[in-house]
Chains A and B, each alone.
Chain A
C-alpha cells in the first residue's frame, strides 16, 4: 500500500480534475480542455525534465532554464523563417571551434599557470567581440512566419566575402586564445591517434570556407526548402543551440560554484534576466505571431477523425463537435516521444545508470572512476536541448515573445515541485496535473461555471486561471511536502 501511495495520489488528483471538468462543463468542453491540458503538459514536461534532472544530479536550481526554452524558440523560428542564417553564422562558429581545439591542445602542452590562461581568455573574448563587431544582425532576424527568407534581398542579407573571411580569421584567433583556459578541465585519459584531431580541425576549417564560398548556390537551395524540411531544420537547430548553450553555461558559470546553492541561484536568476534582455536586443521587444506549421497540419479544413486526417491533412480535427488544432496533437506526440525516449535512456543506457546513481550519491560515482563532471555537462546539455526543443515545438502554438521564457519556466518549476524535485516520473506527472489544471482554469474563465439553481453562469477572471496552478501546488505540498513522487526522507 505504502509503495503505491504516490501513484494513488496521482490517479486521484487527475481523476478529480477530470471529473470536475466533466461535471462543470459537460463532455464537449471538458474533452477540449483535456486535450489543451495535454498540450500544455507536453510543453511543461519538455522544460521540466531538464530542470528536474539537473536538480536531481547536480543540486542546481537552474533559474535560467526558461532562457533555453525561449532561445530555442527564437533560434528555431529564425532558422525556419530565414534558413540562410546558417550560412552566415555557421562558418563563424566553426572557425571559433577550430581555434578553440587548437588552443586546448596548446594549453595542455605549455606548463600550467594560475593566471595566464585567464588573461589569454580575456584577450580572446576581446578578439571575439572584435570579430563579430558590426555583424549585420537585423536582416538575419527579420523574417516572416510563413515564407522563407522574408523580404530581404540577398545582397543585404550577407556581407561581402572578404569581410567574412577576415571575421573567420579573427574568430579562429579568439578561439586559440580562449582554448588554454579550458585545457585544465578537460584532460583526456585515453590516447587516440594524434592525427585525428588535426584532421578534424582541418576538416571543420575547410567546411567553414566551403560554406562561405558556396553560399550563393546554397542560399538558393536553403530558401527553396519546403516548409516541412525547414521545420525539421528548426527543431535540429533549436535543440543543438540549446545543447551548446547549456554546455557552455555549465562549464563556465555553474561548474565553479558546485556546492554553493545561493551563489548558483543568484547567478542563474541573473542569467535569466540578462538572457531576456539579450533576446530583446537581438530580436526586438515585439513578439512574433505563431510560426507556420508543417504541411500535414496546415490545410484549412476539419477532419472528422484521426484516420481521416492521415489523408486529408487538415489543420484541425473534430472532437465531439468542436474543432481541435491537429498541430497540438503533434505537440502531445512529441512530448510523449521524448518522455519515453528519456525514460529508456535512463533505464537502459550506461549514461542513464550513472545518472540514476549520481542522483543518489555523485561522490561515490566519482570514486568508482567515472568522470562525473563530464556527466554533469552532458546532462546539463541534454536538459537544455530538451527545453530548447520545447521552445521550437511551442513556436507554432504560442509564437515567440521575450517573456515566454520566464512564464513557462515558472509553470515548469511548479510542475517539477508538484511531481517531486529530482524524480523523472514525478516531473511527467507534475506536468500533467499542471497542464490539466491550467486548461480547466482557462475554460472556467472563457465559459464560466453554472451551478444548479444559478440563473447566470459564474465567470472567473483570468487571474483565477493563473492562480489555480499555484493553488494546486500549495495543496499538494501541504499533503506531501516533497511532492507526489518525492522522497519524504529528504
Chain B
C-alpha cells in the first residue's frame, strides 16, 4: 500500500488555478520523483500535501488517513518532513538550534544524532556556528538533516541540487540514497540526471496535471516522452 496517496487535487493560489488534477502514489520505502518543467506545479504539489497551500478539492491520504484541510503543523507532526526549495534554514539560529527546533519530542535530536552526523559529518563540526555562515551546500545538508530529526516517515525534498556545484550534487545524491534506507522520499529536482539515477518511481506533471506515472526504469526507455515533457535529453 502507498504511504502517501494524492488523488486528483486542485489547488488555487489567489485567482490562479495552479493544480488542475494531480494524482500520485508514493510507496513506502521508495524514492519517488516528481517530474515536470519549471512552473508545472511541482512545488505547489508538495505544499498542497503539507497543507501550506491547501487543495480546494481532492484527497491527500497519508498512512491511511485523509489529511487534506488540516492545519500544516498537524500534517507535519504526523510524520512528514519538508525540505523546501531555497533551503529555508534559519540563518539567525546556530546549526545546532536549527536541528533542535525540529524536535517534536525532547531527545529526538539525541536519538538521531549518530545517523545525521554520519550522513553529514560537516554539520557536527559546524554545530555552534550561525547557520547563515554556512556555504550553500552545507545549508542544503542542514535543511535535509533538519527534516531527519523527528520521526518522519516521508521527506518531501524540493530542488535540493539547485545552485550546487557538481561535486556537491554527487555528495548530496549519496546522502539521499543512504537516508532512503530509513525513510520514504518524494523528490522534486530539475536535474533529471540525478533524479533518474536515484528514483525507483516517478510521477510526471505538466501544466498542473498528472500526465504519467510509473517505474523510473520504464520511463528511461522512452526518450521521446522525456524530451516532450521535460525537455531533457539522456
A: which residues have CB within 8 A of B?
187, 189, 350, 353-354, 356-357, 359-361, 363-373
Query: A360 touches which one: B50, B91, B100, B104 (CB < 8 A)?
Result: B91
Query: B84 touches which one: A356, A367, A369, A370 (CB < 8 A)?
Result: A367
Min CB distance B110 to A, Å, is: 15
Complex contact A356–B93 (CB within 8 A):
yes
Contacts of B93 in A (CB 8 A): 353, 356-357
Query: B77 touches which one: A189, A356, A360 (CB < 8 A)?
Result: A189
Contacts of A369 in B (CB 8 A): 73-74, 76-77, 102, 104, 150
Contacts of B84 in A (CB 8 A): 364, 367
Contacts of B71 in A (CB 8 A): 187, 366, 371, 373
Min CB distance B154 to A, Å, is: 13
Contacts A357-B90, A367-B84 given; does A372 touch B74 at CB 8 Å:
no
Shortest Cβ distance from B104 into A: residue: A369
Query: B88 touches which one: A353, A354, A356, A364 (CB < 8 A)?
Result: A364
- 11 residue pairs from A and B, CB less than 8 Å apart: A356-B92, A357-B92, A360-B90, A361-B90, A365-B101, A366-B72, A367-B72, A368-B73, A368-B82, A370-B73, A370-B101
Shortest Cβ distance from A364 into B: residue: B88
Nearest 7 A-B pairs (CB), nearest first?
A369-B76, A369-B77, A357-B90, A364-B88, A367-B82, A371-B73, A366-B72
Shortest Cβ distance from B147 into A: residue: A368
Contacts of A361 in B (CB 8 A): 88, 90
Contacts of A359 in B (CB 8 A): 92
Measured in the bound complex, the distance between the Cα atoms of B101 and A366 in whole Å is 11
Query: B76 touches which one: A354, A367, A373 (CB < 8 A)?
Result: A367
Complex contact A368–B146 (CB within 8 A):
yes
Contacts of B74 in A (CB 8 A): 187, 189, 369
Shortest Cβ distance from A370 into B: residue: B73
Complex contact B101–A353 (CB within 8 A):
yes
Measured in the bound complex, the distance between the Cα atoms of B98 and A357 in whole Å is 8
Interface centre among A359, A366, A367, A372 (most CB of B within 10 A): A367
Known interface pairs A353-B93, A356-B92, A370-B101; 18 further A-B residue pairs with C-beta atoms within 8 A, sorted by A's residue number: A187-B71, A189-B74, A353-B97, A357-B92, A357-B93, A357-B101, A360-B91, A364-B84, A366-B73, A366-B76, A367-B52, A367-B84, A368-B82, A368-B102, A369-B73, A369-B77, A369-B150, A372-B73
Measured in the bound complex, the distance between the Cα atoms of B93 and A189 in whole Å is 28
Shortest Cβ distance from B76 into A: residue: A369
Complex contact B73–A364 (CB within 8 A):
no
Min CB distance B81 to A, Å, is: 8
Shortest Cβ distance from B98 into A: residue: A357
Min CB distance B163 to A, Å, is: 18
Measured in the bound complex, the distance between the Cα atoms of B76 and A370 in whole Å is 8
Contacts of B90 in A (CB 8 A): 356-357, 360-361, 364
Contacts of B100 in A (CB 8 A): 353
Min CB distance A350 to B, Å, is: 8
Measured in the bound complex, the distance between the Cα atoms of B50 and A359 in whole Å is 21
Measured in the bound complex, the distance between the Cα atoms of B72 and A480 in whole Å is 37
Measured in the bound complex, the distance between the Cα atoms of B50 and A353 in whole Å is 23
| Interface positions of B from 44 to 91, Cβ below 8 Å from A | 50, 52, 71-74, 76-77, 82, 84, 88, 90-91
Min CB distance A295 to B, Å, is: 45
Shortest Cβ distance from A359 into B: residue: B92
Contacts of B50 in A (CB 8 A): 367
| Interface positions of B from 86 to 143, Cβ below 8 Å from A | 88, 90-93, 97, 100-102, 104
Contacts of A187 in B (CB 8 A): 71, 74
Measured in the bound complex, the distance between the Cα atoms of B104 and A353 in whole Å is 14
Interface centre among A353, A359, A372 (most CB of B within 10 A): A353
Measured in the bound complex, the distance between the Cα atoms of B75 and A187 in whole Å is 13
Measured in the bound complex, the distance between the Cα atoms of B84 and A325 in whole Å is 56
Shortest Cβ distance from B146 into A: residue: A368
Min CB distance A58 to B, Å, is: 16
Contacts of A367 in B (CB 8 A): 50, 52, 72-73, 76, 82, 84
Measured in the bound complex, the distance between the Cα atoms of B10 and A54 in whole Å is 34
Contacts of A189 in B (CB 8 A): 74, 77
Measured in the bound complex, the distance between the Cα atoms of B101 and A187 in whole Å is 22
Contacts of A371 in B (CB 8 A): 71, 73
Contacts of B88 in A (CB 8 A): 361, 364
Min CB distance B82 to A, Å, is: 4
Complex contact A354–B52 (CB within 8 A):
no
Contacts of A360 in B (CB 8 A): 90-92
Min CB distance A372 to B, Å, is: 7
Measured in the bound complex, the distance between the Cα atoms of B77 and A187 in whole Å is 14
Complex contact B76–A368 (CB within 8 A):
yes
Contacts of B102 in A (CB 8 A): 368-369
Contacts of B92 in A (CB 8 A): 356-357, 359-360
Shortest Cβ distance from A354 into B: residue: B101
Shortest Cβ distance from A363 into B: residue: B52
Contacts A187-B74, A189-B74, A363-B52 given; does A368 touch B91 at CB 8 Å:
no
Measured in the bound complex, the distance between the Cα atoms of B91 and A359 in whole Å is 11
Min CB distance B15 to A, Å, is: 16
Measured in the bound complex, the distance between the Cα atoms of B82 and A359 in whole Å is 19
Shortest Cβ distance from B46 into A: residue: A367
Min CB distance A377 to B, Å, is: 14
Min CB distance A71 to B, Å, is: 32
Min CB distance A259 to B, Å, is: 12
Measured in the bound complex, the distance between the Cα atoms of B90 and A361 in whole Å is 7
